[in-house]
Structure 1
Amino acid sequence: MTETAPLTSAAHTRQAALHEQRTPPRGAAPPPRPRGPRTLLKGLVKTARPKQWVKNILVIAAPAAAGRLFSAHALTQLAVVFTLFTACAAAVYLINDARDAEADRAHPTKRHRPVAAGQVPVPVAYAVGGALAVLAPAAAAWLTSPAVAALLAAYIGMQLAYCVSLKHVLVVDLVVVTTGFLMRAMVGGLALGIPLSRWFLITTGFGALFMVSAKRYSEAVQMAGKAGATRALLTEYTTGYLRFVWQLAAGVAVLGYCLWALEEGGVPHTSVLPWRQLSVVAFILAILRYAVFADRGTAGEPEEVVLRDRALALIGVVWLAMYGLAVANW
């Protein structure tokens, strides 16, 4: 009995040591995943944020507003522009995740991102992101127009500057994210040579600012009194200021849309009703409905808000129908 006790204790010590080696400490980065061509490709696609690609549908905004959406040439050009803008956004995501890999490994959620988790090596993320950042504008110059190529290059430069430093600058971070949405809405018109109305730009820009600031406000409300905000600037913004921003942006967006509808919405003789002017009602209802979620502090990603709320989705469909009838002169 006296000889077996030390042996048993030593065995327990070895077993405990093995268990500690196999179990990573809480908050540590997950072990590197096995790498293979298929695993690497999946990691690259995941890093490109496919859920965010729906935002690039905004490239059809200007052609749709001008009634030049349904032609073979327009659809082809818009498909090319959508793909190239998606490639530019993917380039930014890849470079951003490669740059923040070390910090992401200490984050409870971001540590599972492919680059931080080791599924995509940091040099590969930099290489693929850099290649996309160069090739997308070059392809745009060849397949569309120099104006589109210049806009895509400006988008990449602005977003990379945001990742490096601008996201830490008060107000400027809101402007950069808003400008990204505005560029999406502009690029389709540039690809098809459509003149962009000043009211279209004002409505789109301040509508985007409304959604961006509402999202920031919601994050600030949800993180109030909690440590470790998801965005560093949330600790510097006050909820009162962010509420002021989204309310101001909503008002300017509504005013811009009203002036746009009245300026370009003369009633054609073939129209049954002044659909363009009537669409103002649906637009204002959509703003008011979205503001409900902003006021509650539950306005997250814009696409999620729209898809989650049936009433808002229905208002959006009614607005699209009215505007479509206006464009078709019915």
Structure 2
Amino acid sequence: MGATSNSVKVDVKTTPRVRQNMVYLLVKQLRPHQWTKNLLVFAALLFSLHKVSPDVIGKSVLAFLLFCFVSGCVYILNDFVDIKNDRNHPEKQFRPMASGALPPALALAFGAFLLLGSLFSAYYFDRLFALVLLVYFVLNVAYSMKLKHVVILDVMIISAGFVLRAIGGSLMIQTPFTPWFLLCTMLLALFLAISKRRHELILLQQDKGTHRKVLDSYSSELLNQLNTIVTTMTIISYSLFTFTSGRTIHLMWTIPLVIFGIFRYLYLITVAGQGGSPEKVLLQDKPILITVFLYVVMVAGIIYVFEFK
């Protein structure tokens, strides 16, 4: 009897810990460290400082959060689909579902609830933004289910996701986006996606096809050539954007920062062996962090000085 009583007491005391652990795992499953990708929704706000107001800032923050939640739902679905492959991956085997710590059924139920809540919230504030958010989710589901196995198209789908983020941020604050800006976004995202494939190819080596089938269709030579083409196009496109965007031509002073940022990332993926996780590079590499900070300050300062009236 005494043993039973002690057993009951232990269960009661550990229950809150179990619940807290599950909450932690659910949040971890949303991959908050990758939410830096969604900071792109603030680009429209950065280039529209002359229209800034508390309401506009609030809408931009909301757009960022909704993209974070929906992208988190995508990660849940993607990890569920890839759970077997992730268990054989040197890094991804520690993810909540792959490690067995988080029940897949609970993760999927949580993701469905979060997705519906996010879409309804987006629809309440702006229907077009809600449509972009829905297209973003559907596109990523198609990627997780099939398109990630199609060579070349896989990195283009990733790039399209970034373009949708930029469009969504513009729609939420009702700021027009220029074709040059969207082209720069697409090319820069392509550069990051190709660099990630290159990192995976080198990291996994002989086991590359086991983890990601599409890697069997890539080679280091091909990915290096694609990166050369894309980086060249990115620098040219951004340079043209600064001159033809309809904004002040003084944005051209930010071109050296963009070139340095791209060259620094190329150095990290080719010499330092990084690039598998762009968000980690963005948060951990000091030269890139400083470059991004200076870029934001320069753009804000140029627009404030030459466009505020």
Q: Same fold (TM over 0.5)?
A: yes
Q: Give structure 1 stretches of 5+ with no counterpart.
A: 1-33, 268-273
Root mean square deviation, CA, Å: 2.4
Corresponding residue number in structure 1 for 2:299: 323
Corresponding residue number in structure 2 for 1:95: 77
Alignment: residue pair count: 290
Work out the CA distance in 1 between the residues paired with 2:104 and 2:46. Answer: 40
Q: Which moved more, 1:215-224 or 1:226-235?
A: 226-235
- Provide the secondary structure at the position in 1 that maps to 2:225: helix
Work out the CA distance in 1 between the residues paired with 2:152 and 2:69. Answer: 27
- Equivalent in 262, 276, 300 of residue 276 of structure 2: 300
Once the two structures are TM-superposed, the CA of residue 266 in structure 1 deviates from its matched residue by 6.4
Instruction: Map 1:104-123 onto structure 2 (within 5 A).
Output: 104-105=86-87, 107=89, 109-123=91-105
Task: Give the letter for the 2:259 counterpart.
Answer: I
- Provide the secondary structure at the position in 2 that maps to 1:120: coil
Instruction: Map 1:1-330 onto structure 2 (within 5 A).
Output: 36-67=18-49, 70-105=52-87, 107=89, 109-142=91-124, 144-225=125-206, 230-264=211-245, 275-296=250-271, 297-329=273-305
Which structure has the larger Rg? Answer: 1
**Shift in alpha-carbon separation, 1:287–1:69, aligned structure 2, 3 A:** farther
Contact 2:59 2:173 in 1 (8 A): yes
Q: Which moved more, 1:187-196 or 1:293-302?
A: 293-302
Once the two structures are TM-superposed, the CA of residue 108 in structure 1 deviates from its matched residue by 5.4
Residues 146-178 of structure 1: CA distance to partner in whole angstroms, max 9, x if unpaired? Answer: 111001111111111111111111111101111
- Provide the secondary structure at the position in 1 that maps to 2:141: helix
Task: Give the letter for the 1:248 counterpart.
Answer: I
Residues 69-124 of structure 1: CA distance to partner in whole angstroms, max 9, x if unpaired? Answer: 74201111012111111110111122223334455445554443322344332222
- Structure with the largest fraction of helix: 2
Once the two structures are TM-superposed, the CA of residue 264 in structure 1 deviates from its matched residue by 3.5
Same amino acid, percent of matched pairs: 30
Task: Give the letter for the 2:274 counterpart.
Answer: T
Answer 1 or 2: higher relative contact order, Cα 8 Å, separation at least 6: 2
Residues 169-209 of structure 1: CA distance to partner in whole angstroms, max 9, x if unpaired? Answer: 11111011111122222211010111110110011110111
Work out the CA distance in 2 between the residues paired with 1:306 and 1:111. Answer: 23
**Shift in alpha-carbon separation, 1:200–1:43, aligned structure 2, 3 A:** same
Once the two structures are TM-superposed, the CA of residue 229 in structure 1 deviates from its matched residue by 5.7
Residues 119-144 of structure 1: CA distance to partner in whole angstroms, max 9, x if unpaired? Answer: 332222221212222221121010x2
Q: Which moved more, 1:212-221 or 1:111-120?
A: 111-120
Contact 2:261 2:291 in 1 (8 A): yes
Q: Which moved more, 1:202-211 or 1:34-43?
A: 34-43
Q: Give structure 2 stretches of 5+ with no counterpart.
A: 1-15
Work out the CA distance in 1 between the residues paired with 2:205 and 2:123. Answer: 46
**Shift in alpha-carbon separation, 1:260–1:57, aligned structure 2, 3 A:** same
Work out the CA distance in 1 between the residues paired with 2:208 and 2:246. Answer: 51
Q: Which runs of 4+ in 1 moved over 6 A?
A: none
- Provide the secondary structure at the position in 1 that maps to 2:49: coil
Contact 2:50 2:304 in 1 (8 A): no
**Shift in alpha-carbon separation, 1:301–1:114, aligned structure 2, 3 A:** closer
After TM superposition, the score normalised by the length of structure 1 is 0.80
After TM superposition, the score normalised by the length of structure 2 is 0.85
- Provide the secondary structure at the position in 2 that maps to 1:119: coil
Contact 1:265 1:276 in 2 (8 A): no
Work out the CA distance in 2 between the residues paired with 1:119 and 1:293. Answer: 33
